Copies of this chain bind each other. A is one copy, B any other.
Amino acid sequence: VWQATFARVGEDWVFLAMLGIVMAIVSFMMDYGIAMCNKAQLWLYRDLASHQALQYLAWVSLPVCLILFSAGFVHILAPQAVGSGLPEIIALHKGSGIPEMKTILRGVVLKEYLTFKTLVAKVIGLTATLGSGLPLGKEGPFVHIASMVATLLSKGVTSFKGIYENESRNSEMLAAACAVGVACSFAAPIGGVLFSIEVTSVYFAVRNYWRGFFAAVCGAMMFRLLAVWFNDEETLTALFKTNFKVGYPFDPQELFVFALTGVVCGFLGAFYVWVHRQYVIFMRKNKKMKAFLQKSRLLYPLFVTIIYSSLSFPLGLGQFWATDLSNHRQVVELFSNITWTKKDHTVHEFQVVENWRTPWTGIFVSLLLYVTFTLFGNVVSSTLPVPSGIFIPVFKIGAAVGRIVGETMAYIFPNGLNYGGHNHIIIPGGYSIAGAAAMAGAVTHTISTSVIVFELTGQITHIIPVMVAVLIANGIAQLLQPSVYDSIIQIKK
């Protein structure tokens, strides 16, 4: 018995490590592909600076091609790869005890959800989708991808076959896969484990805790090591490093303003879930729309992509909401330790702030437009028949909302608040972080977004205000609306 147990534990370790490493490689390669597409669009746009019409054509045509390719490819290979996949995974987990759910979701739908074909369709389709620059994320699909990799790995490698045959072991494996999925998209192992527990479990067996952690750490480590080996980074650091003052991150009075940020994000998160559901239901119920969608599968994506790209064209409306920045850059600048409203900027600071204002409008207009367009753009484009997630767009919306609050504070109190005879300047980036965590938490009904945000930024100085904002946002959102995943599951039934 001892030897059998030991062998099984040993195989377990190997399996979990392999899962983490494979996912890290997949994540890294996809990020590379996405970055290439984004760069190509910006490069075409900048290189054609003499011809505005050509610029526009280049700006629009690349996303259109990518989205059409993604939609077509996924449709032909495996239609199950459309959408996030995370709601289905959640239903699989939570429903595993309920027979009714089991037959509906596991028997009919989910059998096809974890095949090799779906994996290929999802990975390639997602890369193309995100390369297009539409406001979509990779987190949800990544959990789906990780679940597929785990399933295939356990089936494919003969020595793992034995261990994951019975159902409870199988669900243990899928739980670890969820953690790895989040860990590899954000390099956030702890947040990944917690998020996966919160989202997929009703009752959680604590003895499985270490599996998720082990796999997630392997994944996150490999993911960051790859960045080092391919010279993107000097060493293993956070994805969105911030550099806030460690000694005096915020005044005690600012806690109220952080709580207010939580309130705003809570309502906005509930609003997002509501709008998302209304839009999906509208698209289904409207008969003309339905007929149109079913007849010409590619017309709707074409239409949506052209409109979104036109609205985001940097010489047109796009200049008002920073569309000539990559996804990564947007988050870095929203989180940055720069007070946008202050008067004397260094050259570097000036360059950052210039992205968020125009000769005619200030930063607040840009931020508000950014929030609006990202929110509605995400709602609309999440209905496209392509693989897509919603976490990162929501996260960005929250970061912008937080930045608005923070800059307002910095604008009203340019010398900072007075506490105990000291004046300390307000750090708007801190609000941005709290906003991002609170908004993502409100939409997904999770608290672990706070941990993800700490791991993403590599700083934990704002722990108390971030936790306060996340808890308040969660409280409000949970009172008003179901989580976005439950909402999608309800619609799909």
A459 within 8 A of B: yes
- Whether B455 lies near A213 (C-beta < 8 A) is no
Q: Does A450 count as interface, using CB distance less than 8 angstroms?
A: yes
A359 to chain B, nearest CB (A): 35
Q: How large is the interface on A (under 10, 10 to 19, 20 to 34, 35 or more residues)?
A: 35 or more
* Given A204-B204, A205-B203, A206-B201; A237-B255 close (CB under 8 Å): no
Q: Flag if A251 contacts B235 (CB, 8 Å).
A: yes
Contact A467 B217, CB 8 Å, known A206-B202, A454-B454: yes
Partner of A460, one of B207, B221, B228, B459: B459
Is residue A243 contacting chain B, with contact meaning CB distance below 8 A? Answer: yes
Contacts of A426 in B (CB 8 A): none
The smallest beta-carbon distance between A493 and chain B, in angstroms, is: 22
Q: Which stretch in A138-146, A311-319, A348-356, A416-424 binds the other chain?
A: A416-424
Q: Give chain B residues whose Cβ lies under 8 Å from the Cβ of A190.
A: 450-451, 463, 467
Expressed in whole angstroms, the Cα–Cα distance for A460 and B238 within the complex equals: 9
Chain A residues 442-489 with CB under 8 Å of chain B are 447, 450-451, 454-455, 458-461, 463-464, 467-468, 471, 474
Contact, CB under 8 Å: A189 / B467:
yes
**Residue interface bits A342-383, CB-to-B below 8 A is 1, else 0:** 000000000000000000000000000000000000000000
Is A249 in the interface zone, CB < 8 Å from B?
yes
Residues on the B chain within 8 Å of A238, using CB: 460-461, 463
Chain B residues contacting A276 (CB-CB under 8 Å) are: none
Residues of B within 8 A of A201 (CB): 206
Q: How far is the CB of A485 from chain B (nearest CB, A)?
A: 14
- For the complex, give the distance between the alpha carbons of A419 and B234 in Å: 8
Closest B residue to A94 using CB positions: B206
A53 an interface residue at 8 Å Cβ cutoff?
A: no
Question: A234 is contacted by which of B248, B454, B463, B467 (Cβ under 8 Å)?
Answer: B248
Pick the contact of A235: B213, B217, B419 (CB < 8 A).
B419
- Contact of A198 with B204 in the complex, beta carbons under 8 Å: no
Known: A190-B463, A235-B252, A246-B241. A471 touches B205 (CB 8 A): no
Looking at the complex, which one of B203, B214, B248, B468 makes contact with A237 (CB distance below 8 Å)?
B248
- One digit per residue, 1 when the CB lies within 8 angstroms of any chain B CB and 0 when it does not, for chain A 227-251 equals 0100100111110011100111111
Q: How far is the CB of A193 from chain B (nearest CB, A)?
A: 9
Closest to A241 in B: B246
Known contacts A203-B206, A206-B204, A450-B190; decide if A250 and B235 are in contact (CB<8 Å): yes
* Candidates B420, B424, B460; contact of A458 at CB < 8 Å: B460
Task: Tell me the bound Cα distance from A204 to B201 in angstroms.
Answer: 9
| Docked pose: A53 CA to B143 CA in angstroms | 68
Q: Of B194, B221, B460, B464, which one neighbours A220 at CB under 8 angstroms?
A: B464
Please state if A424 and B235 are interface contacts (CB–CB under 8 Å): yes
Q: Is A210 an interface residue (CB 8 A)?
A: yes
CB distance from A27 to the nearest CB of B (A): 15
A 176-216 binary contact with B (CB < 8 Å = 1; else 0): 00000000000001100010011001111111011001100
Contact of A468 among B194, B217, B455, B459 (CB under 8 A): B217
Give every chain B residue within 8 A of A463 (Cβ-Cβ). Answer: 189-190, 220, 238, 455, 458
A257-278 interface (Cβ within 8 A of B): none
CB distance from A370 to the nearest CB of B (A): 27
In the complex, whether A122 has a CB less than 8 A from a CB of chain B is no
Looking across the interface, which residue of chain B has its beta carbon closest to that of A450? Answer: B190
The answer to whether B213 and A206 touch across the interface, beta carbons within 8 angstroms, is: no
Q: Is A255 a contact partner of B206 (Cβ separation < 8 A)?
A: no
Additional A-B contacts beyond A202-B206, A234-B422 (5; CB < 8 A): A190-B450, A203-B206, A204-B204, A204-B205, A237-B248
The 6 closest A-B pairs by CB, nearest first: A217-B467, A204-B204, A460-B460, A201-B206, A221-B464, A203-B203
